[in-house]
Amino acid sequence: MKKLLLLAACFAAFTMSAQEFTLTEMTSTANVPTDRANNRQGFGYDGNFVVLDKVLGQLNFYNPEDGSLVATGETGATASWPAVTIDDVGNIIARVDNSWPGNFMADTVVMKIFPVGALDNPIDVECNIFADFEAENGRCDFFSFVEGNVMDEEEGGVLWIVTAKSTGILKVPFLGGEVDHDHIALFPIEGATLSPTSSTVVNPYVAADGTKHYMLWTRNAQPVDLVMNETEDGFIGTTFTLPNKGATNGCFPLTFGGKDLVIYTTLPNYGNAWAIAEKNAEEPIAVVAEEPGFVTNGFQSNWLNAELLNHNTAIIYQYFPGNFFKTYKFVVAAEQELVINEAYLVGTFNGWNQTEEGGRIAFEDVDGVLTASDVELEAGAEFKVIVPNGDDWTWLGGIDENQAGFFLVTGEMTTNGDDLSLVDGSNFRMEEGGTYNLEILENQLDKASSYALRVTKSQPEAIETVATDKQDNTWYNLQGVKFNGMPSVPGIYINGGKKVIIR
């Protein structure tokens, strides 16, 4: 996330029905240089709003603070479909063929993939996704969020499509930036009614119990929670209710604070009100009431999605077409924050194995500090910290350059790629092989993180000549450099032949 989201003044609060969560408006702008007719679908990502202008054929990135245009990607199309989406790693997919507003099927469906970091170099994707499922052909206005990585050569990503004529959900897999035609398949639903329209979306999520689910949202029908059947060639669906649900497009499943939540649009229809609730709840967790003075969105959408910053903070994005951009901070109350008393290190060095026999590395209490000493890491090794969570584990990664994640990184290592870097703002990666000490410290800085991870190089060979006489009160650093007295800077030192931590 960008700093503007973390540092923006929190100037408005909203109705909350549960004390364990708080919701605060962070940024708001009515300076939206878009119109509803041409800019119908959008979402928030990495601190900006992403909107597809179907007439100009532009993929536009907007600053949520003032609505200014910060970047543009050209699709080369005009009068295209308004459908735009994003996968789990940030690759953006837009439909750009000139066939609006007819059926989804064409001899070739044309999309463009804008890979992460390559906005100026999109990839053309042409396919006939309904070649074997012509009866499913129908109008499809909006795209669902994509699971996986569409650019990955092995696992790839999946776009789930529902048209106005669908009898099931069409699985459209991608591999290496291309549609995997051989594995396009139609997934039927058992146990629930599909009720398809031209604006039905199927958004994937991982539930609090770790199982994979999909949320099917049809604006004028009950939402459906989907899980795959045992043969993984169809879905088992369960309808559920949401308090004061409106008949407007815009929803997002969010697993947060140990709960399976839905961010969704509420009554009045086609307005800007929304709420957060658990499935089948009698009352929502949070309610954002209709804000008067804005034009009702006749294209029936009020787009909502969220990004997790860390274990107890999320950013919610709201794009109300033709009216405004807003961002909100959604926080689990302090009493819900994770307290680390036991921790282990896992990573590529042990195949991410979480068992003791599998080579996980335990953090031990060293003078009140959880420490993993003399950890051997190869160049390019990635790792995370895991902590017990009942019968399961909670995985704790790093933070991005704006310190918007779980651990703040401190000590001798840096996060600019020279020594210690972050992969997707999550996994730690050591750029240089060696022996390292890792310490989990309470974070005293005013940042989103609750803890700091101090990473320092361990070089015992540099101190082999240090005197080991216990009466020797001389202080050395781990490189064998002698001090005139007790150091004042926090770190690990040698005194009397022993390692001593100064905090």
Instruction: Report the 10 Å Cβ neighbour count for 415.
Output: 20
Q: Say whether 408 sits in a helix, a strand or coil.
A: strand
75-78-82-85 Cα dihedral, nearest 10 degrees: -10
Q: Where are the alpha helices (DSSP H) in 208-340?
A: none
**Residue environment code for 102-131, b if the CB has 16+ CB neighbours within 10 A, otherwise e:** eebbbeebbbbbbbeeeeeebbebebebbe
331 Cβ neighbours under 8 A, 6+ residues apart:
21, 22, 23, 24, 312, 313, 314
Determine which helix (DSSP H) or strand (DSSP E) holds 60, and give its type and residue range.
strand 58-62
Rounded to an integer, what distance in angstroms lies between the CA atom of residue 317 and that of residue 300? 17
Q: What pLDDT, on a 0 to 100 scale, did the predictor assign at position 393?
A: 82
Nearest to 326 by CA among 9, 15, 49, 22: 49
- Side-by-side strand order, sheet with 475-477: 482-483, 475-477, 491-495, 498-502
Q: Supply the Cα-derived Rg of the chain in whole angstroms.
A: 25
The answer to whether 157 touches 173, Cβ cutoff 8 Å, is: yes
Q: What pLDDT, on a 0 to 100 scale, did the predictor assign at position 124?
A: 92
Nearest to 158 by CA among 177, 144, 172: 172
Residue ranges in the chain modelled with pLDDT below 70: 1-19, 98-102, 105-108, 310-311, 333-338, 399-418, 424-426, 442-450, 459-472, 476-484, 488-493, 496-499, 501, 503
Q: What pLDDT, on a 0 to 100 scale, did the predictor assign at position 313?
A: 81
Q: What pLDDT, on a 0 to 100 scale, did the predictor assign at position 238?
A: 98
Q: What pLDDT, on a 0 to 100 scale, did the predictor assign at position 491?
A: 66
In a 13 Å sphere around the CA of 123, the CA atoms on its Cβ side amount to: 18
Q: What pLDDT, on a 0 to 100 scale, did the predictor assign at position 403?
A: 41
Q: What token pair was written down for 123?
A: 């990839």
Q: What token pair was written down for 11?
A: 């100037």
Task: Annotate 354-404 with DSSP letters as a single string.
Answer: -STTTT-EE-EEETTEEEEEEEEE-TT-EEEEEEEETTEEEEE----TT--
427 φψ region: left (φ > 0), alpha (ψ -120 to 50), beta (else): beta
Q: What pLDDT, on a 0 to 100 scale, did the predictor assign at position 9?
A: 26
The answer to whether 404 touches 310, Cβ cutoff 8 Å, is: yes
The answer to whether 283 touches 234, Cβ cutoff 8 Å, is: no
Residue with tokens 């947060």: 256
